Chains A and B, each alone.
Chain A
Amino acid sequence: MDTPAGSTVDVDVNVDADADDDYDEIPLQHKRPFGSGLHRKTVAFVPASASDGCLNSTDHVNTAAKPKQLDVADLYLSMVLSKDNKTANEAVQVGETGAAICEVCRLPLESEPAPAGSSDVDDGNSSSSKKDGGKVHENSFAHQVCLPHSYPPSALDRSRMGLSYLSQYGWDPDSRKGLGAAEQGITFPVKATPKYNNLGVGIHVPKNLPPPREKKERLLDAGKVRKQARKDKRKAERIHQQLFGNQDLEKYLGPGALG
């Protein structure tokens, strides 16, 4: 737990392997945040209906004849996505010209040219059937983003007494809903941001600004004090010169006026 941020995985394991059982071997900076990046991660999972283990390539989806086994990923997908897949397939509307529109993402279902992003995927299947085209479309980025997806469960501690009371009256912590007659209330407490300065409304301090350096109080010895006094005196003389050594002024006031 206390390993420095830069240490590598194997070092960590060597040091701490038996110190702590549930020690996580992946350094924090390499960990993927849970629940973030729907586009990248979920998309990679969807075509696994053909699960050969090669999750990245959608070629397998189209070339493989049948799914061989059900693995964990399949199971997960059948729970999370099966319904949506079905509805998506059923929702295909065939237009008069034959161009169907997907109900989920409201984009036309293209059968011949694949979307630019997945053109390499679709190389061998340019004359695929409508169903295959649907599948290609399903794998497309735009479609994936539009799919309703499940959220990670709420981080609330399930053993809390307050939670059990609220769930007794029908509030589900994972529903992403608040309280109220229609559960329309806010879901998270209002956040407080303390303000330690006098900056006006509309000024924002950049977050990564280094904190202002505190001025150190200097201790002056006799020499420094004398030096400072000399400096001040010179400054005063200069100002005096500027004000009273002015020729224009002398012209108006007469030479005797300034002294």
Chain B
Amino acid sequence: MTDYNSESSDPTKGVKRTNMGEDGTKDSKRIKTANGDEKYNPYLAHQYEDSSSQQNGFKSPLDQLERHNTTALQMSQAEDGERNPWTGEPHSQQYFKILQSRRDLPVHKQRQEFLDTYHSTQILVFVGETGSGKTTQIPQYVLFDELPFQTGKLIACTQPRRVAAMSVAQRVANELDVKLGEEVGYSIRFENKTGPKTMLKYMTDGQLLREAMHDHDMTRYSCIILDEAHERTLATDILMALLKQIAARRKDLKIIVMSATLDAQKFQSYFYNAPLLAVPGRTHPVEIFYTPEPERDYVEASVRTVLQIHATEPEGDILLFLTGEEEIEDACRRISLEVDDMIRESDAGPMRVYPLYGTLPPAQQQRIFDKAPEPLRKGGRPGRKCIVSTNIAETSLTIDGIVYVVDPGFSKQKIYNPRSRVESLLVSPISKASAQQRAGRAGRTRPGKCFRLYTEKAFKKELIEQTYPEILRSNLANTVLELKKLGVEDLVHFDLMDPPAPETMMRALEELNYLACLDDDGELTKLGSLASEFPLDPAVAVMLISSPEFYCSNEMLSITSLLSVPSIWIRPNNARKRADEMKAQFAHPDGDHLTLLNAYHAFKGAEQQGTDMKQWCHEHFLSFRHLSSADNVRAQLKRIMETHDIELISTPFQDKNYYINIRRALLAGFFMQVAMREGSNSKVYKTVKDDQLVMIHPSTVVTSPYDWVVYNEFVLTTKQYVRTVTNIRPEWLLEIAPIYYDVDSFEKGEIKSALSRVTEKVRRRQAIKGSGH
């Protein structure tokens, strides 16, 4: 024990030990002694005195610490100091208040245990439920141990979602009493808020992956924390495989994989049986109920269940899981109406119903944290709130006060079919793991209840064990391009936790091949390398890169930005007609891409005249938020284009080819997303090569039935739709993408014969031209 303490407080012994793996024996010995030594030891008080006296000076207490050999006690002392150990500034009042609440978090009790394990290993798996404080605290514990000013290396903590990265970074900056963007920063797609002083960086997993493309060994970082690994996003999966490789090369890099669910053994065995540390969450028992019979209509049943709970169960908020925006809004309306009746008829308490889904504006999302309403009169029945949410409330978001969970057993999932190349969002049954996660939401504040709208037998037999990770459900074109850029050649034996199906991988390779990002041998081309610099889909990136050839790179830049943000059109239920009229003002008869561009130009024009843009957008039924973010995206993309010397050009607006150029330039990237009309009177189109029958989405401005259209996305709802379409000419296809539109490679059918006719026409026209000369 003595040895342990003197070692850590002796400033002369500041030997940097970067390589923990080779020094295993010493570490294990130290941990044994450390176990009994987590608390304050009065016999060693003089030593503590020592370090705290230095703290009162201007010297930071952190200077005394030895990297990878700190204790929880030392850190607490550093945190308790009057001055901020990182900046030297005096602590603010608020700081100590937050510090107190931080010390109450479940994870704090295991700080020493965490450090001991962290010191002993290169890779660590950490399990803690949401609310345990792992996302905010663990990176700080690491920060106090890594002491970045000694090595000049950063700590990265990845998040699956942009919003989480931003909000957590802000929170941690407050906790450390520093300014966001200085010591603590964040980096997300199209936004980087870090500075030269940054030590701790929250970022989306995709962003870290992009950084790795230029820094294959991630040399900027001394520790990488993968948070919310249980969500198994595409980028997290790739990062895990990549870090596994890097960890073998860079023994000084530490990796922490954090997961919220207890199936962490899978992570453990994947990372060579890395030690696992679990922090119990603050959870209470949850009683689970099933229906005796399967339900005929799960939406109907869930509405009824919510009302039953409201009528019969004691105080406590309700969380209902449904699948999509429309369904949620509909259920909210129905519940509100029914509750009004209940209040009138049977003196029920008031209930406020809040929807929650990804595309909801942030202000409205915030409303779910409002308190439940007061009883209608004094002594009346208590009020409650009911949140109707997609599965974003399953793991990522914690709402306190939830006591009842209603789980119909469905969620919307993205699924990619490599044969038809269709990526669609489909309602499908959830997994057992996800059902348990949902039930767990009921036990956050006190013992709760979970009502499952299916039978126990169905739970056991129908639900799969685990949700399929995103990598098995996605188009991998972007991923493969990134991997190629990352120097991963062997895509067959790349050690992914769940490798995708070979067909999906093949399709991705072929798509990149058609886009000329990979050559026929699968080697990255110059174009592919350039395309990977853009945080965009390969097709979009290629479109942007080749736009100068069509003399419209400025316009394509705008269109690309508009396509990378959520829809800018607003169509409120109560003003659909007026919204459509407004949209018609911007409409270009040739298509939606051009209409988007018109709206953007109008937006910029109004902005330059000094109009109140929020008002202007409101009047024109446009989303100010999304237009501004498109503007921001545009600026970022423009910078990338400039650094890579891609010319920014436009033809004058009066040029008769102005719009034609744009339509042609669209094809340079989207030539694989083209559909031809079936028959001359039909409204049905058939996608080229994939042979999917589709209709044009009703949101389109296109009125005349064009024979050939290029589309931005494929939407599968009750019908198959293509959304955001623009009219094109088949001759362009042959000219712009001759390899893909090699008529001989097509299967027999209408599209083939149409293309052969066009080929013939073009050939004849050229012959005439030739003879004319």
- Is B416 interfacial (CB-CB < 8 Å)? yes
Q: Which of B298, B416, B427, B463 contacts A189 (CB 8 A)?
A: B416
**Chain A residues whose C-beta falls within 8 Å of the C-beta of B493 in the assembled complex:** 169-170, 179-181, 183
Q: Are the CB atoms of A190 and B415 closer together than 8 Å?
A: yes
Chain B: minimal CB distance from A198 (Å) = 4
- Judge whether B296 is part of the interface by a CB distance below 8 angstroms: yes
**Chain B binder among A23-31, A54-62, A156-164, A249-257:** A156-164
Instruction: Answer whether A200 and B716 are a contact pair too, CB < 8 Å, given A178-B502, A190-B472, A192-B424.
Output: no
| Shortest distance from the beta carbon of A196 to any chain B beta carbon, whole Å | 6
B522, A187: Cβ atoms under 8 Å? no
Give the residue name and chain of the B residue nearest to A182 (CB). Answer: B493
Residues from chain A with Cβ under 8 Å of B458 in the complex: 201-202
The distance in angstroms between the C-alpha atoms of A180 and B471, with both chains bound, is 13
Q: Is A216 an interface residue (CB 8 A)?
A: no
Interface residue? B548 (CB, 8 A): no
Contacts of A195 in B (CB 8 A): 410, 426-428
Tell me the chain A residues, 77-92 only, with Cβ under 8 Å from chain B.
none
**Which B residues lie within 8 Å of A181 (CB)?**
493-495
Task: Name the interface residues of B496-517: CB closer than 8 Å to any CB of A.
Answer: 496, 498-510, 513
The interface bits of chain A over 189-217 (1 if a CB of B lies within 8 angstroms of the residue's CB, else 0) are 11011111011111100000000000000
Known: A192-B426, A195-B427. A201 touches B454 (CB 8 A): yes
Let me know if B429 is at the binding interface, CB within 8 A: yes
Q: Collect the chain A residues with CB atoms within 8 Å of residue B454's CB.
A: 200-202
Q: Which residues of B contact A169 (CB under 8 A)?
A: 489-493
Task: Answer whether residue B417 sits at the interface, using C-beta atoms and an 8 A cutoff.
Answer: yes
Q: Is the CB of A178 within 8 A of B499?
A: yes
Assess whether A178 is in contact with B501, with CB atoms less than 8 Å apart.
yes
| Chain A minimum-CB-distance residue to B412 | A195
* B409 touches which of A160, A173, A201 (Cβ 8 Å): A201
Cβ of A186 within 8 Å of any chain B Cβ, yes or no, is: yes
Question: Is B740 an interface residue when CB atoms closer than 8 A count as contact?
Answer: no
- Measured in the bound complex, the distance between the Cα atoms of B719 and A196 in whole Å is 9
Chain A residues with Cβ below 8 Å from B473 are 190
Task: Name the CB-closest residue of B to A192.
Answer: B415
* Contact, CB under 8 Å: B502 / A166: yes
> Which chain A residues border B297 with CB–CB below 8 Å?
198-200
A171 located at the interface, meaning its Cβ lies under 8 Å from any Cβ of chain B in the complex: yes
- Interface status of B468 (Cβ within 8 A of chain A): yes
Contact B506 A200 (CB under 8 A): no
User: What residues on B are CB-neighbors of A201 within 8 Å?
Assistant: 294-295, 298, 408-410, 429, 453-454, 458-459, 462-463
Cα A194 to Cα B428 in complex, Å, equals 8
Given contacts A156-B503, A186-B499, A188-B503, contact A203 B509 (CB under 8 A): no
Q: In the complex where A165-B522, A166-B492 touch, is A179 in contact with B499 (Cβ < 8 A)?
A: yes
Q: Taking the complex as formed, is B299 at the interface, i.e. its CB lies under 8 A from any CB of chain A?
A: yes
| A203→B461 CA distance, assembly (Å) | 12
A162 in contact with B509 (CB, 8 Å): yes
B32 interfacial contact with A, CB 8 Å: no
User: Does the CB pair A162–B500 fall under 8 Å?
Assistant: no
Given A190-B468, A192-B417, A200 and B295 contact (CB-CB distance below 8 Å): yes
Cβ of B12 within 8 Å of any chain A Cβ, yes or no, is: no
> Whole-angstrom distance between the alpha carbons of A193 and B520 in the complex?
34
Whether the pair B718, A196 counts as a contact (CB closer than 8 A) is yes
Nearest-Cβ distance from residue A178 to partner chain B, whole angstroms: 6
- The distance from the CB of A151 to the nearest CB of chain B, in whole angstroms, is 15
Quick check: is A168 within 8 A (CB to CB) of the other chain? yes
How far in angstroms is the closest Cβ of chain B from A82? 31
Cβ contacts B258-298/A at 8 Å (1 or 0 each)? 00000000000000000000000000000000010011111
**B197: CB under 8 A from chain A?**
no
Contact between A171 and B296, CB atoms less than 8 A apart: no
| Contact indicator A189/B501 (Cβ below 8 Å) | yes
Q: B727: shortest Cβ distance to chain A, in Å?
A: 29
- A160-B506 contact in complex given A200-B453, A201-B462, C-beta closer than 8 Å: yes
Give Cα A49 to B463, complex, Å: 49
* CA of A173 to CA of B416, assembled, Å: 21
Q: Does A184 contact B (CB under 8 A)?
A: yes
Contacts of A156 in B (CB 8 A): 503, 506
Interface size on B, residues (CB 8 A): 60
B355 at the interface (CB under 8 A from A): no
Query: Which of B295, B454, B492, B500: most chain A Cβ within 10 A?
Result: B492
B215 sits at the interface (CB 8 A): no
Q: B455 at interface (Cβ–Cβ under 8 A)? A: yes
- CB-CB under 8 A from B522, the residues of chain A are 161, 164-165, 168
- B502 adjacent to A187 (CB under 8 Å): yes
Asked whether A189 lies within 8 Å of B510 as measured between CB atoms, the reply is no
The answer to whether A6 has its CB under 8 Å from any CB of chain B is no
For B440, the chain A residues whose CB sits under 8 A away are: none
Find out whether the CB atom of B298 lies under 8 angstroms from the CB atom of A200.
yes
Given contacts A189-B417, A201-B410, whether A160 and B490 have CB atoms under 8 Å apart is no
- Tell me if B457 is interfacial: C-beta within 8 Å of chain A: yes
- A193's contact among B419, B428, B453, by CB below 8 Å, is which? B428
Interface centre among A156, A184, A203 (most CB of B within 10 A): A203
Across the interface, A162 reaches (CB within 8 A) one of B496, B499, B510, namely B510
B1 interfacial contact with A, CB 8 Å: no
Any A CB within 8 A of the CB of B418: yes
Decide if B301 is an interface residue (CB 8 Å cutoff): yes
A180 to B491 Cα, complex, angstroms: 8
The answer on a CB contact under 8 Å between B462 and A162 is no
| Interface check B607, CB cutoff 8 A | no
> Given contacts A162-B505, A179-B492, A185-B501, are A198 and B718 in contact (CB under 8 A)?
no
- List A residues 15-41 near B (Cβ within 8 Å): none
> In whole angstroms, how far apart are the Cα atoms of A199 and B428 in the complex?
11
Whether the Cβ atoms of A179 and B428 lie closer than 8 Å is no
Could you tell me if B300 and A198 are in contact, using CB atoms closer than 8 angstroms?
Answer: yes
Shortest Cβ distance from A167 into B: residue: B492
Contacts of A196 in B (CB 8 A): 718
Chain A residue with Cβ nearest B409: A201
Contact with A along B639-660 (1 / 0, CB 8 A): 0000000000000000000000
With A181-B495, A184-B499 as given contacts, are A203 and B508 in contact (CB-CB < 8 Å)?
no
Name the residue in B494, B506, B507, B521 with the highest tally of chain A Cβ atoms < 10 Å from its Cβ.
B506
Chain B residues, Cβ within 8 Å of A165: 491, 506, 509, 521-522
A179's partner among B424, B463, B502, B520 (CB-CB below 8 A) is B502
- Please name all residues of chain B whose beta carbon is closer than 8 Å to the beta carbon of A188 when the two chains form the complex: 501, 503
Residue of B nearest to A197 (CB): B297
Q: Which residues of A contact B291 (CB under 8 A)?
A: 200
Chain B contacts with A in 574-590, Cβ cutoff 8 A: none
Q: Which of B500, B510, B513 contacts A186 (CB 8 A)?
A: B500
CB distance from A231 to the nearest CB of B (A): 30
Interface residues of B in 681-724 (CB under 8 A from A): 716, 718
Contacts known (A170-B493, A179-B491, A190-B472); A199 close to B298, Cβ less than 8 A: yes
Assembled-state Cα–Cα distance A162/B512 (Å):
10
Q: Smallest distance from the beta carbon of A99 to chain B beta carbons, Å? A: 42
Q: How far is the CA of A151 from the CA of B506 in the complex (A)?
A: 22
A194 touches B716 (CB 8 A): yes
Assuming A200-B294, A200-B298, what are 13 further A-B pairs, CB within 8 angstroms? A161-B509, A179-B494, A183-B493, A185-B500, A186-B472, A189-B419, A189-B472, A192-B415, A194-B716, A195-B410, A201-B454, A201-B462, A202-B457
Q: List 19 A-B contacts (CB under 8 A).
A: A156-B506, A165-B491, A165-B509, A166-B506, A179-B492, A179-B494, A179-B499, A179-B505, A180-B493, A180-B494, A193-B428, A198-B298, A200-B408, A200-B409, A201-B294, A201-B408, A201-B409, A201-B454, A203-B295
Which B positions have Cβ atoms within 8 angstroms of A?
291, 294-301, 408-410, 415-419, 424, 426-429, 453-455, 457-459, 462-463, 468, 472-473, 489-496, 498-510, 513, 520-522, 716, 718
Sorted from nearest, which 8 A-B pairs have the closest CB atoms?
A162-B506, A185-B499, A202-B458, A200-B295, A180-B499, A202-B294, A192-B415, A201-B454
List A residues at the B interface (Cβ < 8 Å).
Answer: 156, 160-166, 168-171, 173, 178-181, 183-190, 192-196, 198-203
